[in-house]
Chain A
């Protein structure tokens, strides 16, 4: 086990991919000269040259589309969209091309494309840079949606994504880049079809993903002091969702709280809860609850931003209410 930051893990993953496979190249806004908006490709331009580390114009639709074309042509492009907030300009390419071409060509063509983007709030960068829209992407059949929350997954999921013959979207919570953690070499290769139980418990399942994982773990630690043993499930993969792990946990604990930084209405949490209702209704001992973001554009001032997001205290009080 080695200690590293999430940023270093992403960078290590990209580096390994570029080194091992000549078809891999990196493309996006500021990935070259600037070294990436989150410094994940620092020094790559010098090391791999402008052919493989390509700065693009500020046009998400064109460079995601170019990535789709390159993938069709046999390359293994890694496209970095600076944040999910900007990815909406590329939605047409994603929904109508990346996700459909295998289907519409009767399986003749596939798009081995990897798109990475930052998501989430908590850094006081205001509404247009802070939203969590990965739940929207999870709605789209034809793509895989990953939300690595640990340093091991940050690298391991990227490498697994490159092996996938179809488009994979990786959402990196921007708050996690400076986070330090143990890199677990033994956990590789990462299985990108399964959720992971990050902390076992018997009284309530805290089901979450991405940046909220650490808040859920904090809440679980505090609850343990009250004698409530929370199990923390890291979904890791929003599509295809690993229903088996979710239901197994709920059948064990009989209670569930879903924590999702997306807005409450129509949230990914709502989908998880629906699947719990479909698959584990008779195992529930209390209503399923969710902790989501308040339905406002994420505010700039720190106290308001904190208040808008799921927080450990909110998770703790929600769990207490479920315990009767």
Chain B
């Protein structure tokens, strides 16, 4: 038997609230499949299973908030024997203090396959009254949960309901505050910047986009992300995570892209294996991840996997970014706006589009020399856009 625990979705996460199980006891799960939806300070996230097997028991109930590392479910892993006496284990370190806010259903209803049968009005009311509809017995047509069922449940006295999504904005601010304070407290930052000639890249992009259908056109930001990913192959020390007292280089390059959210705050989900994607693939992944970040449907791995962060504030007209590293990462790359500037080419002053790339790096891990090599590699790569 394997324990499925509340994963950490970023170093700043200390606890999570189970929104719903996507599986029930007895269901098969494969590694990477969505098993639960968890609400964190940042957003609701779909959690992927780390194991392949059969769900033996679901321990955490929807609405419960549990610390990271708490056993949420027991999975019988494929190919592993059922340990004697393991079934029904009581080894659940759910803290006494953690609230168990959801009303216990009097009769545990048999889990139904697929979606909950509930009328739209009842669903809406349940959300307003903070009633967990999965615990209700429907009396509407075909056994659907109707308004009356939700009203009846709401009238039954319950403990304080969970505030799953309340004040998410305030909590996100707190989370960012904690992570950034920790970063500035613990990480000795050094900053480098380089102005990069984007003439070739922009010309190439223009021609490339003419060949592409309108829906597949590339943004220059994708070239920057790809250049960063490829430069990290040359300077792998920057593609690392700080663990306790040393940096551990990551074998894979997962660039986290900073996405600002309309309601305020930001997230930086990973585009996995950034260096191995074509520009077209990267563009698709980028658009997808931005869309889902704003919709609050990012996956757990996208939160926990970035090995470096890229942030671009060019849209706001910013020319240079002096970024704060997102721990446990050890570097952050910032890009400003692409602007036309006088530029000297072969002794002549010409007008060229240029961008300022900046690096914030952890001085415990790298020195300015390696950081400089990294930025000049990004520059070099952007002079050969066709190779990206």
Q: Which residues of A pack against B, CB within 8 Å? A: 254, 281-287, 321-324
Contact = CB atoms under 8 A, between A and B. Distances in A.
A287 B119 CA distance: 8
Given A285-B146, A285-B147, A286-B146, A322 B141 contact: yes
Interface stretch (B120-128, B202-210, B337-345, B370-378): B120-128
Contact of B140 (A281, A282, A283, A286): A286
A248 to B, nearest CB: 15
Contacts, number: 37
Contact of B121 (A282, A322, A323): A282
Given A282-B124, A284-B119, A324 B139 contact: yes
Which interface residue of A281, A282, A323, A324 has the most chain B CB atoms within 10 A? A324
Most buried by A among B121, B123, B124, B139: B121
A282 B121 CA distance: 5
B120 A324 contact: no
Interface residue tally on B, bucketed by range: 10 to 19
24 contacts: A254-B121, A282-B120, A282-B121, A282-B123, A283-B121, A283-B124, A284-B120, A284-B121, A285-B121, A285-B122, A285-B146, A285-B147, A286-B119, A286-B140, A286-B141, A286-B144, A286-B146, A287-B141, A321-B141, A324-B139, A324-B140, A324-B142, A324-B144, A324-B146
B141 A254 contact: no
Nearest to B124: A282
A285 B140 contact: yes
Contacts of A282: 120-121, 123-124
Contacts of B123: 282
Interface of B: 119-124, 138-142, 144, 146-147
A89 to B, nearest CB: 44
Nearest to A320: B141
A282 to B, nearest CB: 5
Contacts of A321: 141
A322 B140 CA distance: 8
Nearest to A323: B141
B146 to A, nearest CB: 5
Nearest to A287: B141
Contacts of A284: 119-121
5 smallest beta-carbon distances between A and B, as pairs: A324-B140, A285-B119, A285-B121, A285-B147, A324-B141
Nearest to B138: A324
A322 B120 CA distance: 14
Contacts of A286: 119, 140-141, 144, 146
The residue among B123, B138, B144 with the most chain A CB atoms within 10 A of its own CB is: B144
Nearest to A286: B141
A283 B125 CA distance: 9
Contacts of B120: 281-285
A231 B142 CA distance: 23
B37 to A, nearest CB: 21
Contacts of B140: 285-286, 324
Contacts of A285: 119-122, 140, 146-147
A323 to B, nearest CB: 8
A286 B120 CA distance: 8
Nearest to A289: B141
Most chain A CB inside 10 Å of its own CB: which residue of B124, B138, B141, B147: B141
Contacts of B146: 285-286, 324
Count chain B CB atoms within 10 A of each CB in A281, A282, A286, A321 and give the residue with the most: A286
Contacts of A281: 120
B128 to A, nearest CB: 11
A183 B223 CA distance: 77
Given A284-B119, A285-B140, A286-B144, 18 more contacts: A282-B121, A283-B120, A283-B121, A285-B119, A285-B120, A285-B122, A285-B146, A285-B147, A286-B119, A286-B140, A286-B141, A321-B141, A322-B141, A323-B141, A324-B138, A324-B139, A324-B140, A324-B141
Nearest to B150: A285
Nearest to A277: B120
A290 to B, nearest CB: 15
A316 to B, nearest CB: 15
Between B119, B124, B147, the greatest number of chain A beta carbons within 10 A of the residue's beta carbon is seen for B119
B123 to A, nearest CB: 8
A202 to B, nearest CB: 12
A322 B122 CA distance: 14
A261 to B, nearest CB: 25
A244 B144 CA distance: 28
B124 A254 contact: no
A287 B122 CA distance: 12
A286 B124 CA distance: 13
A285 B144 CA distance: 9
A96 B141 CA distance: 46
A147 to B, nearest CB: 30
A281 B120 CA distance: 7
A284 B144 CA distance: 12
A7 to B, nearest CB: 42
A322 B141 CA distance: 6
A143 B144 CA distance: 42
B323 to A, nearest CB: 42
A254 B140 CA distance: 12
A254 to B, nearest CB: 5
Contacts of A324: 138-142, 144, 146
Contacts of B124: 282-283
